[in-house]
Amino acid sequence: MKKEQAQQDEFASMGITREEYVALLAYSANDGDAMAQFEWGKELMRGELVRKDEKEALRWFCSAAQQGHAEAQFRAGYALFFGIGCEANEDDAAHWMVKSAEQEVPNAQFFVGLMSLAAICGWPQDVEAARQWMTLAAQKGYAPAENMLAALAEDAPMPVAHWRHFIDEQRAAYQGDAANLFNSGMEAYFRRSEADDATAVSFFRRAAELGHAKAQMMLGVALREGKGCAKNAQESRKWIEKAAKQGQLQAQEELGYYYTRVKTDFAIAHHWLVRAAAQGSAAAMYDLGYFGVAGAFGEVDYARAAEYFSKAGELGHWQSRVALSMMYEYGKGCEQNEARAIALVNSTLKYTDDESLAKFRAHFARVLTP
């Protein structure tokens, strides 16, 4: 979050905190300053340092927009279009979007191009106008516009109904459809820009709050990595645990990994790994096998370990196959069988050429096939 860090540094150079800055924003906004109104609206929409209030945020965006603030015009148009803090109003949305686009805001230029494709507000579909707006946005490095231009390069552009459906999906997401929120988040996530990361987190959070397990998992990962948001380890685990409790496999694996390798608590790790293994997670099976070999609960259980390594190995988990081969070699948890051990390591070569396997290849070098 380079922009956020730059802001923090700027506040520090002025000798004030971000909280004090926000208080000054509210004062200046009420005094009629358009930039302050826009920034105050963003704080209200974000809801981090003040109580979130989308309706009030829109009011301030519109106030700044009326004074000609280009970014506020885009924010007002966006909120009005998707019904954020208000009833959706395409006519008013188009009014502010066009004004913002005319002031060279790439997001707005992209959106006006999309409206031209979807024939919003009774406009006729105008593919050439859409290309022109998308080109202007793309020239400023706006990735979604670059992607859209590639789609528009085809000889037969999609009909109005296609674009209307696309927009309706986005609107449904904002109106509380958790699945669409999550899908919209994933679309933004895979665009891989810093701005898109923040957009993805916004979608994931909305879907997560509605109970969408995969969105809870993705939000947890974003908070852990600080991708599209500030890092927050405690909140990250909270969302991952919510996803895990709903049976989300990746979340269960994440918790198993965390409580095995980061904050050691084998009892909690075992709780989640057993559930992940029951869903077919080879990685979880391997960790459970490791628990047996290491005596994680006070007693070594080679037989149980061999069972888990065998199941994970059948799923192609090469570390489990190697671990099982060593158990066959030394007769731990199973009958000693060097031939079986050699066969397991030999067959593991088809699963990986990982350098970690080199020491095992050397161990059995005398009999391994070329």
Q: What is the predicted pLDDT for the residue at 65?
A: 96
Q: What is the pLDDT of residues 185-232, one digit of tens each?
A: 888 888 767 767 888 888 898 889 888 899 999 999 999 999 988 899
Query: What average pLDDT does the chain have?
Result: 84
Mean pLDDT value across residues 245-250: 92
Per the listing, tokens 């007002």 go with 76
Q: Which stretch of 21-25, 52-56, 303-307, 323-327 has the lowest confidence by average pLDDT?
A: 21-25
Give the integer Cα–Cα distance in Å for 361 and 367. 10
Mean pLDDT value across residues 110-116: 90
Q: What is the pLDDT of residues 255-264, one digit of tens each?
A: 998 998 888 8
Q: Which stretch of 48-62, 69-83, 163-177 has the lowest confidence by average pLDDT?
A: 163-177
Q: Which residue has the higher pLDDT, 295 or 75?
A: 75
Question: Is pLDDT of 244 > 50?
Answer: yes
Mean pLDDT value across residues 56-62: 95
Q: What is the predicted pLDDT for the residue at 66?
A: 96
Q: What is the predicted pLDDT for the residue at 75?
A: 94
77, exposed or middle or buried, with CB in 10 Å at 0-12, 13-18, 19+?
buried
Nearest to 291 by CA among 314, 316, 308: 308
Nearest to 72 by CA among 23, 37, 98: 37
Q: What is the predicted pLDDT for the residue at 154?
A: 63
Please, which pLDDT band fits residue 10 given cuts at 50, 70 and 90? Answer: low
Nearest to 266 by CA among 275, 276, 274, 256: 256
Q: What is the predicted pLDDT for the residue at 24?
A: 85
What is the 3-state secondary structure of 203-255?
HHHHHHHCCCHHHHHHHHHHHHHCCCCCCCHHHHHHHHHHHHHCCCHHHHHHH
Q: What is the predicted pLDDT for the residue at 22?
A: 80
Mean pLDDT value across residues 5-32: 75
Q: What is the predicted pLDDT for the residue at 277?
A: 92
Q: What is the predicted pLDDT for the residue at 123?
A: 85
Given a contact cutoff of 8 angstroms between Cβ atoms, the answer to whether 83 and 168 are in contact is: no
| Residue 138 token pair | 């793309």
Question: Is pLDDT of 145 > 70?
Answer: yes
Question: Is pLDDT of 369 > 60?
Answer: no
Mean pLDDT value across residues 295-303: 81
Q: Which stretch of 112-121, 179-188, 220-229 has the lowest confidence by average pLDDT?
A: 179-188
Given a contact cutoff of 8 angstroms between Cβ atoms, the answer to whether 105 and 78 are in contact is: no
Q: Which residue has the higher pLDDT, 40 or 293?
A: 40
23, exposed or middle or buried, with CB in 10 Å at 0-12, 13-18, 19+?
middle
